[in-house]
A and B are shown apart, each in its own frame.
Chain A
Amino acid sequence: EAQVTQNPRYLITVTGKKLTVTCSQNMNHEYMSWYRQDPGLGLRQIYYSMNVEVTDKGDVPEGYKVSRKEKRNFPLILESPSPNQTSLYFCASSMGLDGGTEAFFGQGTRLTVV
């Protein structure tokens, strides 16, 4: 089954404790991205990757890191989480750079930083 898998689904952590949210897709997609969703603000892009070893900042990259060492995986790293990073996070992938293909979303990760 074609899918984007995020883990964990729910995470409560403390300020400053490094964490990683994993994202994996099995569709051989080139383009992957991370979004955060906050009430009233919609989905905002954090980082995106056009292929292996090619990543770039989205609209809200501060406080986040990503890596793309393999085509299927695109982890999101919070080196020192803060309460303002409490949010619902989605990983998404799509086939290619032309953007003319649909984005498939993971199930979401609800992160709470206390």
Chain B
Amino acid sequence: QKEVEQNSGPLSVPEGAIASLNCTYSDRGSQSFFWYRQYSGKSPELIMSIYSNGDKEDGRFTAQLNKASQYVSLLIRDSQPSDSATYLCAAWMDSSYKLIFGSGTRLLVRP
């Protein structure tokens, strides 16, 4: 079992729709979670961080964390073609001092 798992996609949504990206993790001790966006050939850039159960909103982005079920999600409202990218979920593993990434979900927003 991978430590952080994501559906590779692609997830295709029409412009203006809500895109929902999901991630599960295996280490129950993980406390810190991150969503990164990565355009092809570029470096990952942080979109959201979340540390507590519940929702965290920042503009069009909402991160959701459920530690009991060990999943993290990212909602993108009013999706734009410029949101088309690969979204990486990451979890900090306290047990090993590592930031572990999922393999990413490719999002396509159709104009």
Residues of A near any B CB (own CB < 8 A): 31, 33, 35, 40-45, 48, 50, 56, 58-59, 88, 90, 92, 94, 97-100, 102-103, 105-108, 110
- Would you call B34 an interface residue if the criterion is a C-beta within 8 Å of the partner chain's C-beta atoms? yes
Cα–Cα, bound, A31→B43 (Å): 18
Instruction: Please judge, given known A-B contacts A42-B88, A43-B44, A107-B43, whether A102 and B49 are in contact too, CB under 8 Å.
Output: yes
Q: Check B61 for interface membership: any CB of A closer than 8 A.
A: no
- In the bound complex, how far is the Cα of B101 from the Cα of A33, in angstroms? 13
Q: How far is the CA of A88 from the CA of B8 in the complex (A)?
A: 19
Are B104's CB and A42's CB within 8 A? yes
Give the number of chain B interface residues (Cβ < 8 Å): 25
Task: Write out the residue numbers on chain A whose beta carbons fall within 8 Å of the beta carbon of B80.
Answer: none
A41, closest chain B residue (CB) = B103
Complex interface bits, B85-103 against A, C-beta within 8 A gives 1, otherwise 0: 0001010111001111111
A103 touches B99 (CB 8 A): yes
A-B pairs with beta carbons under 8 Å apart, 6 shown:
A33-B98, A41-B103, A43-B101, A99-B32, A103-B99, A108-B41
Q: Which of A42, A50, A58, A106 contacts B102 (CB 8 A)?
A: A42
Q: Could you tell me the distance in whole angstroms from the C-beta of A89 to the nearest C-beta in chain B? A: 11
